[in-house]
Amino acid sequence: MAEAKGKTDKKDLTPTEQNNLHSDLRRFGYLLPTDDEEVEEFEKIYGKTQVIFPEHLKKPKFLREENKLKVEPAVEAKQPSKDSSTVQKIAKPKGKNDYFKKLVLAAHVARELYAEPTFGHVKFVKVYLLCDKVCHMNLNSSYGRYAAGPLDPKQMYSIDAEFKKRKWFRVTKTTHGTRYSPDEKAKDHEVWYERYFRGQLDQIARVIELFRKESSDFCEIVATIFYVWMDFISQHKLVNNASLIEGFYSWGEGKKRFKREELENAIQWMNENGITPLN
């Protein structure tokens, strides 16, 4: 019997078989969820009853060894002088749940503002960016310089696709721009929003309320100035009204449609309401 048992040891499993076993263990509830997305799926299937699993079923030894083999060689090649604790810290990938966290924030912004006639892609992106930056969330979006101001296009397209896929919002292209309307599962993100941002709920609500009735143009002006302001700080450049306005106009030809007075008023409003990189 001992020999028969030995034939099921990890040495007899190919990497594909090991991955399949891992998937089966997790699907049938023998492995505990490792992040919030897996918790969500786990609770859908098994409910919220607390079940204590044996330690040896939580993460089989062969999976720990396999992960170790995948991480250490690449890190050691780049950081040969680092000790093991530093290697583990550097090697740890950014949780894939960060993407879900960004999606939840986007869903909250859309839920709060979808009924406003000024709410479309431009306002959506700018309010989301300002919630992220003003509330110091460090959500690691890849903003670039685009005609309507700072934008992470891949993120925006992904958010629209996920809204549809999860049935949180219907996303409709109209002659007046993109419109959002709640779908059948529009409230599903709320439990995650409370969990992820429980320490920033008041700050986020304040930013959203400040822009609720503002036009897309105003949101574009503020977000662009904010981005220029951050850029100047990072480069240790002089920051004042004149330099910010010059930086705004040098963004691109499209920015010249805004009057200097509009920019001066926007900067004053930003300072009065704490919508600056310094707060």
SS3 200: coil
Whether residues 230 and 113 fall in one domain: yes
Residue 43 pLDDT? 55
Residue 278 pLDDT? 81
Whether residues 62 and 101 fall in one domain: no
Whether residues 246 and 260 fall in one domain: yes
Smallest CA-to-CA distance from 18 within 4, 28, 8 is with: 8
Residue 176 pLDDT? 81
Residue 21 pLDDT? 65
The mean pLDDT of 185-197, rounded to a whole number, is 94
Task: List the domain range (segments joined by +) for residue 57.
Answer: 13-91
Q: Distance from CA of residue 33 to its chain's centroid?
A: 20
Q: If pLDDT is split at 50, 70 and 90, which confidence band does 53 have?
A: very low
Task: Answer for the pair 21, 15: CB distance below 8 angstroms, yes or no.
Answer: no
> pLDDT for 140-188, tens place per residue?
888 888 988 898 889 999 999 999 999 999 999 988 889 999 999 999 9
Query: How many beta carbons lie within 10 A of that of residue 59, not counting itself?
Result: 15
Whether residues 19 and 87 fall in one domain: yes
Indicate the residue among 91, 106, 125 that finishes a domain: 91
SS3 256: helix
pLDDT at position 17 over 80: no
Its sign, for the CA torsion 103, 171, 111, 137, is: positive
Whether residues 235 and 115 fall in one domain: yes
Tracing tokens 């089966």 back to the chain, one arrives at 24
pLDDT at position 125 over 90: yes
Task: Answer for the pair 104, 89: CB distance below 8 angstroms, yes or no.
Answer: no
Whether residues 134 and 177 fall in one domain: yes
CA distances from 199 to 50, 106, 135, 230, 243 (A): 26, 17, 10, 24, 34
The mean pLDDT of 194-208, rounded to a whole number, is 95
Taking the complete model, does pTM exceed 0.75, yes or no? no
Smallest CA-to-CA distance from 224 within 202, 246, 193 is with: 246
Residue 18 pLDDT? 66
**Tokens coding 186:** 């529009």
Residue-wise DSSP of 57-120: HHS-HHHHHHHHHHHHHHHHHH-TT--HHHHHHHHSPPPTHHHHHHHHHHHHHHHHHTTSTT-S
SS3 252: coil
Residue 143 pLDDT? 86
> pLDDT for 65-113, tens place per residue?
444 434 333 333 333 344 433 333 323 334 455 889 999 999 999 999 9
169 inside domain: yes
> pLDDT for 237-267, tens place per residue?
999 999 999 999 999 999 999 999 999 999 9
Average pLDDT, the chain: 78
Percent of the chain with pLDDT over 70: 65
Whether residues 181 and 260 fall in one domain: yes
Listed as own residue / partner, the contacts of 251-260 with beta carbons closer than 8 Å and 24 or more positions apart are 251/145, 251/149, 251/224, 252/145, 252/147, 254/147, 254/148, 255/224, 258/217, 258/221
Domain count, the chain: 2
Residue 219 pLDDT? 97
Whether residues 58 and 168 fall in one domain: no
pLDDT at position 116 over 60: yes
4 inside domain: no
2 inside domain: no
